[in-house]
Amino acid sequence: MALLVVLNAALLGVAALVALRTGIIPGQGEHLVEIEQSAFAYREEPTDIVLETTPATGETYVLYTNYACPYCAEVHAAFATARADATSSLPQPNVVRLHFLDGNGGRFATQELVSAYMLRLWREDQTKFYSLENELFEQQDDWVTLNETALLVWLNERAGLGWTADDIAAERKELLDAQANSPEDLTEVPSLYSDGKLHSGLVYALV
């Protein structure tokens, strides 16, 4: 399947979230993963920027996760393992990434920077995007407490770039100007939706 990417922002969100949309073909293999939920939440609806859209086939799930959430890192790893186990004849999952911004000035205030950085990186080099995304999840302890200046250095070192805050200023504005669009009952992550409905419990059926 082709890739579907949405980057997302919320001015008063508590965390930077990522949503994965996976086109699942029933009967072609499943991995069941049960993962604990975090207490992360957001206070205002997020906003979406649709970068590319392709209709999904099979059943579609939307999983909301957080770059800074350890439980979400487990989900990310589980999806990666499931994709690696799939045969080459199976379609690749669609991926929807929703990044919510934190405007509280707290521990995750740098998520606005991360979101803008990843938005530009997606547009310029998707290979680097996926590599850096893996590092964000795998090395959470190394970056979640950094201020914006230090985090920008951290991101640049891993992406092999030399971007400044000015280089991603347009992406920050774009995120802030986008229109709101998110489930009203999304209060914690990871959260799994199918056909717009929240699933109780966190058992994910993965290709």
- For the chain, how big is the Rg over CA atoms in Å? 16
Q: Which residues on neighbouring strands pair with residue 49, listed in sequence order?
A: 7
Say what percent of the chain tops pLDDT 70: 41
Which pLDDT does position 206 carry in this prediction?
38
Q: What is the CATH number of the domain that holds 56?
A: 3.40.30
Q: What range defines the domain where residue 178 resides? A: 5-206
Cα–Cα nearest to 156, from 185, 189, 126, 114: 114
| 193 conformational bin, left if phi > 0, alpha if psi -120 to 50, beta if neither | beta
Strand order in the sheet with 17-24: 17-24, 59-66, 191-194, 197-198
Residue 207 pLDDT exceeds 60: no
Residue pair 199/192 in contact by the 8 Å Cβ criterion: yes
Q: How many domains does the chain have?
A: 1
Question: pTM for this one?
Answer: 0.64
